[in-house]
A and B are shown apart, each in its own frame.
Chain A
Amino acid sequence: MSNRLRWRKFVSNFMLTMTGVCAVVAVSVLFFILGYLVFHGGTSVSWNFFTKLPAPVGETGGGMANAILGSAKLLLLASLIGVPIGFFGAIYLAEFSGSTTAFIVRYAADLLNGVPSIVIGIFAYSLVVLPFKHFSTLAGGFALGLMMIPITLRSTEEFLRSVPNALREAAMALGASKWKTIASVIVPAAYRGILTAVLLAFARVAGETAPLLFTAFGNRFWSPGWNQPTASLPVMIFTYAIAPYDDWHRQAWAAGLVLLGLILVINIVARAILSRGIAVPRS
Chain B
Amino acid sequence: MATTTTTVPSAGPVAGSRSFLSRLREGDEIARLITFLFAASVVLVTLLLVFELWQGSVLPRHKFGFNFFRTSVWDPIFEQFGALPFIYGTLVTAAVSLLIAVPLGIGAAIFLAELAPAKLSDTLEFFIDLLAAVPSVIYGLLGVFIVVPLMREYIQPGLKHSLGFLPLFQGPAYGVGFLTAGIVLAIMVIPYIISVSREVLLSVPRDQREAALSLGATRWESTWKVVVPFARTGIFGSIFLALARALGETMAVTMVIGNTPAISASLFSPGYSIAAVIANEFTEATGDLYLQSLIELGLVLFLLTFILNGLARLLILATSQRGSEMSNV
Contacts and interface: CB of A to CB of B under 8 A. Distances in A.
Contacts of B112: 23
A127 B53 CA distance: 11
B45 A112 contact: yes
A196 interface: no
Contact of B250 (A105, A118, A206): A118
A193 B129 CA distance: 17
Contact of B142 (A36, A84, A271): A36
Interface string B39-76: 11111011111001100100000000000000000000
Interface residues of A, number: 93
A240 B95 CA distance: 30
Given A16-B219, A118-B278, A207 B138 contact: yes
Given A92-B36, A207-B138, A264 B130 contact: yes
Contacts of A36: 142, 146
Contacts, number: 269
Contact of A92 (B38, B126, B223): B38
B221 to A, nearest CB: 7
A126 B56 contact: yes
B39 A88 contact: yes
Contacts of B9: 172
A105 B136 CA distance: 28
B161 interface: no
A208 B106 CA distance: 28
Interface string A255-266: 010011001100
B237 interface: no
Contacts of B218: 8-9, 11-12
Interface string A193-215: 00000000001101111100110
A119 B9 CA distance: 46
Given A22-B104, A84-B38, A12 B135 contact: no
A216 interface: no
A209 B136 contact: yes
Contacts of A234: 135, 137, 251
A123 B133 contact: no
Nearest to A112: B46
A234 B255 CA distance: 13
A170 B282 CA distance: 56
Contacts of B221: 8, 12
Contacts of A182: 31
A15 to B, nearest CB: 5
A96 B35 contact: yes
B28 A26 contact: no
Interface string A18-31: 11111101110111
B313 interface: yes
Interface string B222-247: 01100000000000000000001001
B250 A123 contact: no
Interface stretch (B152-160, B202-210, B263-271, B299-307): B299-307
A264 B247 CA distance: 25
B301 A116 contact: yes
Contact of B129 (A15, A84, A252, A267): A267
A206 B135 contact: yes
Given A12-B220, A18-B107, A209-B250, A256 B138 contact: yes
B136 A260 contact: no
A146 B41 CA distance: 11
A33 B279 CA distance: 25
Interface stretch (B79-87, B163-171, B187-195, B318-326): B187-195
A237 interface: yes
Contact of A237 (B107, B108, B138): B138
A104 interface: yes
B305 A115 contact: yes
A210 B139 CA distance: 14
Contacts of A123: 48-49, 52-53
Contacts of A48: none
B255 A238 contact: yes
A91 B53 contact: no
Q: Which 4 A-B pairs have the closest CB atoms?
A: A207-B135, A116-B248, A22-B107, A92-B35
23 contacts: A12-B220, A16-B115, A19-B107, A29-B190, A36-B146, A85-B41, A89-B42, A105-B39, A108-B43, A112-B46, A116-B250, A119-B53, A119-B298, A127-B48, A169-B8, A178-B32, A179-B28, A179-B31, A213-B283, A241-B144, A264-B133, A267-B129, A267-B130
Interface of A: 8-9, 11-13, 15-16, 18-23, 25-27, 29-31, 33, 36-37, 84-85, 87-89, 91-93, 95-97, 101, 104-105, 108-123, 125-127, 146, 149-150, 153, 168-169, 172-173, 177-180, 182, 203-204, 206-210, 213-214, 234, 237-238, 241-242, 249, 252-253, 256, 259-260, 263-264, 267-268, 271
Interface of B: 6, 8-9, 11-13, 26-28, 30-32, 34-36, 38-43, 45-49, 52-53, 56, 103-108, 110-112, 114-116, 124, 126-131, 133-138, 140-142, 144-146, 187, 190-191, 194, 218-221, 223-224, 244, 247-251, 255, 275, 278-279, 282-283, 294-295, 298, 301-302, 305-306, 309, 313
Given A26-B191, A127-B48, A259-B138, 10 more contacts: A16-B219, A88-B38, A89-B42, A108-B42, A114-B244, A119-B301, A178-B26, A207-B134, A209-B137, A264-B130
